[in-house]
Structure 1
């Protein structure tokens, strides 16, 4: 199979994250608005071109005050940086259906190389005859490397917000006509 264009099915995809809170618990959240440009042979991603864009204002941690803080200057500064982006630069097959996808991740005004593990979930036709493909994406970023450095010291030692952020995406896409 050769590379084909795939259109992200946002209704059947998700972008989630998790970060340590108070050094001992996790806070989870999602981004509700995102898009992707995918040119790939889903059975062999090594020659794929992948670009992903996330609307930073769509952050949702199920807490309005925390979401407002995340949208502000201490974190995403959505007024000045409305999107974070990822553009693949190299893809290595590590096992059957498993890949390490490296690319340029941009958050705020900082771009750094970042690698994510991508797992091919399979392909199939939906009830309307559309060819669909699914992928799982996992990774960890260091938020302070991207200028997301706000924190508060705890009375007992440590900090309020952890530096490592676990990223998890479930991606479904339809073969573009």
Structure 2
């Protein structure tokens, strides 16, 4: 099995959610680890993928909001400091498109989620190694994972939408 490392400088785990029916709040998780093993990059269907995200590394570029998000109202980072993803299946549609299914665990609640994956490109680095770039996206319902905090607004709705768009850009280096 080949081992792949995530190029942290060129990778990102991000999310967005509709806020107050007006705009979207976007954020990222700045600290995470990934264990990715596969026979070759062309044989990702036979891979092992495990990701561990540090909840307290969340950033929406608003410190007060970030502190609220790691509080017991949302992620409860003191009790549940990590988010986990473990691949259960990866099916190639063609040479560039995949369907990635795995178990996502947030606040000790595990649900199966499916990502659409696009293999964007292969680049040769100046250090004579190959980097493979992928984008992955899915939508989850935050309430399915116990993220139920909300408040009503005068415009007959809630402040925070239930659906969360997750977008991952990952650059993998083989070693």
State the TM-score bracket (shorter-chain normalisation). over 0.9
Name which of 30, 33, 37 aligns with 1:32: 30
Aligned to 2:9: 11
Whole-Å separation in 1 of the counterparts to 2:131 and 2:102: 24
Contact 1:100 1:116 in 2 (8 A): yes
- Cα distance in structure 1, aligned partners of 2:140 and 2:94: 23
| Deviates further, 53-62 or 116-125 | 116-125
SS at match of 1:37: strand
Could you list the runs of 4 or more consecutive aligned residues of structure 1 that deviate by over 6 angstroms after TM superposition?
A: none
| 1:98-124 deviation line (CA, Å, top 9, x unaligned) | 111001000011001000111112323
User: How many residues get paired?
Assistant: 174
Cα offset for 1:171?
Answer: 0.4
| Unpaired segments ≥5 residues, structure 1 | none
Query: What CA RMSD, in Å, does the superposition of the two structures yield over aligned residues?
Result: 1.2
Quote how far apart the aligned CAs of 1:24 are. Answer: 2.8
Q: Assess if the C-alpha contact under 8 Å between 1:43 and 1:120 holds in 2.
A: no
| Mean Cα deviation higher: 24-33 or 62-71 | 24-33
CA contact (8 A) 1:110 1:147 kept: yes
Specify every segment of 5 or more residues in structure 2 that has no aligned partner in the other structure, as ranges. Answer: none
CA contact (8 A) 1:10 1:35 kept: no
Secondary structure of the residue that 1:57 maps to in structure 2?
helix
1:78 matched to 2:77: yes
Give the match for residue 110 of structure 2: 111
TM-score (norm 2): 0.95
